[in-house]
Structure 1
Amino acid sequence: MTVEGVVAPGFEEVREEFAAVVAAELGLGAQLAVYRHGRQVVDLWSGLAEDALLALYSSGKGAAHLVVALLVQDGVLDLDRAVASYWPEFAAGGKERLTLRDLLAHRAGLVGVAGGFAAEELADDRLLAARLAGERPAFTDGYGYHALTIGALTGEVVRRATGRTLREWYEERVRAPYGLDFHLGLPADLEPRYAPVQPAVSPPPTPEGLTALAFNTPLDLVAFANTRRVRELGQASAGSVGNARGLARLYAAAIGPVDGRPPLLGPAVLAEFTRPHSTGVDLVTGERDHFLLGFEAQGVRYAGLGADAFGHSGAVGAQAFADPSSGIAYSYTRRRFAVGGGGGAVENHRLVAAVLRAVAAPNSNGRQRRHVQ
């Protein structure tokens, strides 16, 4: 397949690895974007229009929790304040002492509801929040990935505390100022650029137990994202739409200057949100040391990243993160579900490794060059 786009001198191996990835999976539509110290050094795509927008599912959790971090930085939200003090209905079911920090660390136990959520609830964070407020936690010890609910929970805290939605804050503070092609709620005029999700070439195993509860089994994730209502409302846990360029730029802006603007996050809040908060085994995914604060820990996934590398994967196999120690902001997106599903697709390991080799080599900061392969 043809690979199009640009790389900076020193990042040619990244293009070669990306070409190998798309060649290995017939018909794969994918994108790869990398920033270093606020400047884009990789911008590649294959099997898609240059400006294609993809369903990126849980990648939206990164955008949502960047907003929460900004509001903590502003002093509007307090990590150690009880959620019920912002949202009184949340105290039901023995949750009166749970804090915002507990929510962000996936320790609230509100991963799903018996019998599952209806389709209209899953599309709408306000409906999800109203349903979850009265629930008892599925667990009270340990932590477990709130795959479809975390954005509704933290988003309701934002709305109760500020009178504005998480989406409104994201538009004002992050997406619009940086011109990000990454959306929590896709406007109708951008719908023609949406490339519908494609199912995996082989079906994933059927989840059980808490995993089934958290993923609302038997939810069809392909049909979910390909529903206009989901894209319109921009459900923050799993309804995001965008591309690799937008996500990489988001993480670049989080940690460093972009286009003359200062970093979105200052040193203190960055340190707080990127230290481990939920260690041990995730009760839903089985991963170890899965979460920082709102963000997934990336240093435990990819060799060579710093312990404070933070970001979020998306169900199709997408991955995006910032690595403050190297100044790297990375995003890989794909249209077709990866075989096995969940988290970042396996090819991210070879792509991240190639990026880190390029960063370590001399002559990796030159002007970009266009390549077609």
Structure 2
Amino acid sequence: MTQEIHGTVADGFEAVREEFAAVTAGERPDHESQVCVHVHGRRVVDLWTGGIGPDTLYGVHEATQGATFLVVAVLVQDGTLELDRKVTYYWPEFAAEGKGGLTLRDLVTHRAGVVGADGGFTLQELADDRALAERLADQRPFWRAGTLCGSHPLVIGALVGEVVRRATGHRLQEVYEERIRAPYALDFHLGLPASQEPRFRSVQPLVPTPAQQVRLDALPTGPHTLRAIALNHGATGPAGPAGPAGPVLLPNERLIRAAGQASVGGVASARGLAGLYAAAISGAEEHEPLLKPDTVAETGQLHACGRDPVTGDHTAFGLGFRAVADVWYRFLGAGAFGQAGDAGSLAFADPRSGLAYGFTRRRCAFPGGPAPENERLVQAAHRAALAG
């Protein structure tokens, strides 16, 4: 089945449209996705398909963390936060259970080891970063703090956000709104206003093929595995794995979207995702880039890598962000940084080519992380950016 493609591309970026048409051909009739690309701050690709528009909003899961870590980068740049100070300088209670030696740099590079909490979290706790932080401060790490790097998918925003709150007196979401989203008019929300709800499209769960189901069945699912703890599988009720607000479907809950939970509660269009990273490295219209060149370099510098003890996969992190070229697309420049989400969303910056990229889709991708079609789209966009 051929999907109708809407939107525009700049001269030289026609290959991205061709790839977008190719990767969406044959998809289910209810398939929806968007892709947006900026190069050196200029929007060069703006495409969508599936009977939606460019301003349709989706829950972007862990891609939310791009906004979270950009707040950290801005606060480090202006001296409000210091990466090599201990977390306890800002948040004394975090010292419990052997975490007192952890630095802010360790925390943002996913070394804390508090990927969840014994017994899991309720939906109300998951929507409240301060409640999560209070639970996590008392939690014994699941590996020795500072020794390994691994995914903290549902809680890293709460951990970082509590440091931001202690240092500034404001919630991370408030800092993001005032210093990043509003000035750059980004369609990427940490806390979706009720007035914008009509633009939101709920996440559709993965419908695996038989071959995909075999792979899913092979994943560790016991309630005491690190993966299960990190994905809140120990919880019962709505936020448990079988509940209507299981981890992948959390953005479907108004409670999560309204709070703008800083790990997975962000809501955005592809324009908003790409615009965030364009603002970071290139600026927009009358606004200078959010990050100075030295900050961009440190943000994308490889800080931690290895086998993720939560997922079992290879992982690599810059300052909070994934090291995109190391984890997903090796053809990108060194120092590319970004985040992906479970429904297949992806957003990143490649400072060497000036590329800022955003992709959303409604139906969850297999096996999680950036949807498979991103590889062809990113490669086409990157090739065109270099050619320009």
> Which TM-score applies when normalising by structure 1?
0.94
Measure, in 1, the Cα distance between the counterparts of 2:288 and 2:192: 27
- Give the corresponding residue for 1:245: 271
State the SS of the aligned residue for 2:232: coil
Gaps of 5+ in 2: 234-239
Shift of 1:339: 2.4
Measure, in 1, the Cα distance between the counterparts of 2:105 and 2:34: 33
- What do residues 7-61 of structure 1 show as CA deviations (whole Å, max 9, x unaligned)? 0011111001111122132121000000000000000011123321001011110
1:19 is aligned to 2:28 = no
Shift of 1:283: 1.2
Measure, in 1, the Cα distance between the counterparts of 2:303 and 2:198: 40
1:215 is aligned to 2:231 = yes
Measure, in 2, the Cα distance between the counterparts of 1:290 and 1:214: 18
Gaps of 5+ in 1: 365-373
Measure, in 2, the Cα distance between the counterparts of 1:16 and 1:272: 35
Measure, in 1, the Cα distance between the counterparts of 2:26 and 2:351: 31
1:85 is aligned to 2:89 = yes
1:305 is aligned to 2:332 = yes
Measure, in 1, the Cα distance between the counterparts of 2:40 and 2:99: 42
Cα 1:50/1:359, change in 2 over 3 Å: closer
Equivalent residue letter for 1:212: A
Moved over 2 A (4+): 203-208, 285-289
Aligned counterpart in structure 1 of residue 258 of structure 2, from 228, 232, 242:
232
Give the alignment's Cα RMSD to 1 decimal.
1.3
- Give the corresponding residue for 1:2: 4
Equivalent residue letter for 2:355: I
Measure, in 1, the Cα distance between the counterparts of 2:361 and 2:133: 30
Measure, in 2, the Cα distance between the counterparts of 1:29 and 1:183: 20
- 1:15, 1:44 within 8 Å by CA — same for their partners in 2? yes
Measure, in 2, the Cα distance between the counterparts of 1:33 and 1:200: 23
Aligned counterpart in structure 1 of residue 360 of structure 2, from 314, 319, 333:
333
State the SS of the aligned residue for 1:40: strand
- Give the corresponding residue for 2:237: none
- What do residues 112-135 of structure 1 show as CA deviations (whole Å, max 9, x unaligned)? 112211111111111100100111
Equivalent residue letter for 2:131: L
Aligned counterpart in structure 1 of residue 108 of structure 2, from 96, 101, 104:
104
- 1:276, 1:289 within 8 Å by CA — same for their partners in 2? no
State the SS of the aligned residue for 2:25: helix
Shift of 1:360: 3.2
Cα 1:222/1:109, change in 2 over 3 Å: closer
Write out aligned runs for 1:275-314 (5 A): 275-300=301-326, 301-314=328-341
Cα 1:319/1:223, change in 2 over 3 Å: closer
- Give the corresponding residue for 1:367: none
Measure, in 2, the Cα distance between the counterparts of 1:190 and 1:244: 16
1:40 is aligned to 2:66 = no
Shift of 1:286: 2.6
Shift of 1:221: 2.9
Shift of 1:269: 1.8
Write out aligned runs for 1:1-373 (5 A): 1-26=3-28, 27-47=30-50, 48-140=52-144, 141-202=147-208, 204-205=216-217, 207-208=220-221, 209-217=225-233, 218-219=240-241, 220-300=246-326, 301-340=328-367, 342-361=368-387, 364=388
Measure, in 1, the Cα distance between the counterparts of 2:138 and 2:85: 19
- 1:145, 1:284 within 8 Å by CA — same for their partners in 2? yes
Measure, in 2, the Cα distance between the counterparts of 1:135 and 1:321: 32
State the SS of the aligned residue for 2:97: coil
Measure, in 2, the Cα distance between the counterparts of 1:334 and 1:64: 21
Measure, in 2, the Cα distance between the counterparts of 1:288 and 1:139: 17
- 2:184, 2:287 within 8 Å by CA — same for their partners in 1? no
Equivalent residue letter for 2:66: G
Shift of 1:289: 4.1
State the SS of the aligned residue for 2:59: strand
Measure, in 1, the Cα distance between the counterparts of 2:161 and 2:274: 23
Measure, in 2, the Cα distance between the counterparts of 1:128 and 1:237: 11
State the SS of the aligned residue for 2:149: coil
- What do residues 176-226 of structure 1 show as CA deviations (whole Å, max 9, x unaligned)? 011100001100000011011111112644544211111112432344211
